[in-house]
Each structure stands twice: as structure tokens, then as C-alpha cells.
Amino acid sequence: MKAKDVQYFKELLLKQRSEILNKTDSIKGEAPIESTGQGDEGDLAVSELTLSITLRLQERQTHLLQKIDRALGKIEEGSFGLCEQCEEALAINRLKARPVATLCIACKEEQESREKVFA
């Protein structure tokens, strides 16, 4: 991969990382995540649903942040853009769509078909 491409993806990943951290900070500052236990059944259901969605979003953001940090680490060690399974170069278009990708299309399809068998 060309140095300018690596720099592009590094900047993209750092931008995504910053956005996630800023969103996390704003969510924490908006309202405490707790159920008040007040109101009728409908209010309690909405409160619980909101809490569940908020926690799930935070979990997903944390997971994505870990993937971003891993990709940034790969950039530093010089292995960014290589499939972890077959060690072939990932397509630039794949990385543009999903810069945290670790598998090429063929290996990812193979992994997903194995998951379907064991699911």
C-alpha cells in the first residue's frame, strides 16, 4: 500500500475515533443512565427501552473504538491493509467502506458461511 493511502486511512481512523469519543462524552453529559421507577407502566416501559438502547449503542461504540485502535496499531507496525487469514492485500475500496476490516472479501465470506453452519 502506498504511503499516501496509509496516511489517508490513519487520518480517517483518527477522525472516527475522535467522533466516537466526543459522542460518548455528550451522551454521558446528557442524562444519567438509570431507571427512575416513577410513572405508569407505559412510562416505565419507555424508560427501560431507552436505557436498553443507550447501553447497546455505547457497547457498539466501545467495540468499534477497539477495532479502530487495533487498526491504528496495525498502521504503526506496517501490517495495515493485509488480510489476517491469507495475508493478501485488502482492496482499497473495501478499506474505504470499512477501514477496520481485517479480512479480505473471500476470507470474510468463508468465515460467515462457517458461522451459519455453527449457528
Which of 49, 65, 80 is a domain's end point?
80
- Same structural domain, 116 and 60: no
Q: Do 92 and 54 belong to one domain? A: no
Domain range spanning residue 119? Answer: 82-119
Q: pLDDT tens per residue, the chain (119 residues)?
A: 899 999 999 999 999 999 999 987 666 665 555 555 677 888 888 989 999 998 999 999 999 999 999 999 999 999 999 999 999 999 999 999 999 999 999 999 999 999 998 86
pLDDT, position 30: 59
Residues 4 and 22 in one domain: yes
Domains in the chain: how many in total?
A: 2
Nearest to 10 by CA among 24, 2, 61, 91: 2
User: Domain check: are 12 and 69 in the same one?
Assistant: yes
Position 107 scores a pLDDT of: 96
Reading the block at residue 33, the C-alpha cell is 443512565
Residues 35 and 87 in one domain: no
